[in-house]
Amino acid sequence: MEKIIETVNLSKKYKLKRPWKVLLALDNINLSVNRGEIFGLLGPNGAGKTTLIEILTTIKQPTSGYVAINGYDVLSQPKKIKPLIGLMLAGEMLYHRITGYDNLKFFCKIYKIPHYKEKIQEITEEFGLTKWLDQYVEYFSSGMKMKLAFCRTLLLERDILFLDEPTLGLDVKSKSFIIEKIRDLDKTIFLTSHDMSVVEKLCNRVAFINSGKILKIGTKSEVKTLSELDIKINVELRENKSELVNELNQKDFFKSIIENNDGLVITLKQREDYANLFPILANYKVLRISEPSLSLEDLFLKLID
């Protein structure tokens, strides 16, 4: 598959005036994004997500390493890159003391978007912003600012989009709308978020970043497989719970047993120990056995622990 975004040993350092130290914002980042892919970068605030996007979009320069967008070097060929990309930095990049319409018109004029009046009307109707376009942006809610910023990005009609926290501050209905909109775009999308549900629903592949370092990278299923998280089994039963606990306590293939109202939560040492557990459970009136699905949030909390 064609790599459209690529970084090799990318690092970014900031020199702090006080206490005269060097902050390593990005530490040896290696990743690639294929054409037409939705790639998700997950991490807490301050992990390095926005710094990475600013480098990928030529706003900032790396301290070391190689970065290429569609084969063009970010350092030596930024003018080749800028016409290919669209950037949304949360609800920023908006002018608050002019109207919503004037914001969109201004950016359309700068980027020479043809037929911008018709395009603004069409996209703001789709996003439910039409009746607010004559209002100053400073009076917009945070959710409305996010929608306006997304409209501005889409009006550029670029094939590569960088979306930094595109659902930040949105209510549930608006978030669902934005997710569906992103999913339907036929573009290469690099998306950052600390909202696990957004990435779960949208991304083909994900990377986890914390303190400027990539912790894991791959498809959602690959990352979960590589995580080596504990294997927890929910065993629902109403009778003889104590007897089952006593019998299991004589075995050495589990890490822990937790009792709850519905039965037991058994944590196995390894997946192969299913074969040791099932013959024991067969002697009890078990109503249901289930293994909770692993979420990206569970994985991320484990990785940064």
Torsion-angle region of 7 (φ positive above 0: left; ψ -120 to 50: alpha; else: beta): beta
- Per-residue pLDDT at 111: 92
Query: What parts of the chain have a pLDDT lower than 70?
Result: 91, 223-230, 293-305
83, 168: one domain? yes
Provide the domain count of the chain: 2
Question: Do 177 and 87 sit in the same domain of this protein?
Answer: yes
197 and 51, same domain (yes or no): yes
Amino acid at 280: I
CATH of the domain at 235: 3.30.70
Domain CATH number, residue 145: 3.40.50.300
Cα dist from 303 to 56, 100, 130, 257, whole Å:
25, 41, 44, 23
* End-of-domain residue from the set 175, 206, 226: 226
Q: Are 138 and 150 in contact (CB under 8 A)?
A: no
- Same domain flag for 154 and 220: yes
Domain extent for 276: 231-304
As a whole number of angstroms, the distance between CA 38 and CA 20 comes to 39
Q: How many alpha carbons lie under 13 Å from residue 53 in its C-beta half-sphere?
A: 27
Domain final position from 226, 246, 279: 226
Considering the entire predicted model, what is its pTM?
Answer: 0.77
Same domain for 264 and 126: no
Pair 168, 143 in one domain: yes
- What's the pLDDT at 184? 92
Query: Beta strand 188-193 with 38-42: parallel, antiparallel or unpaired?
Result: parallel
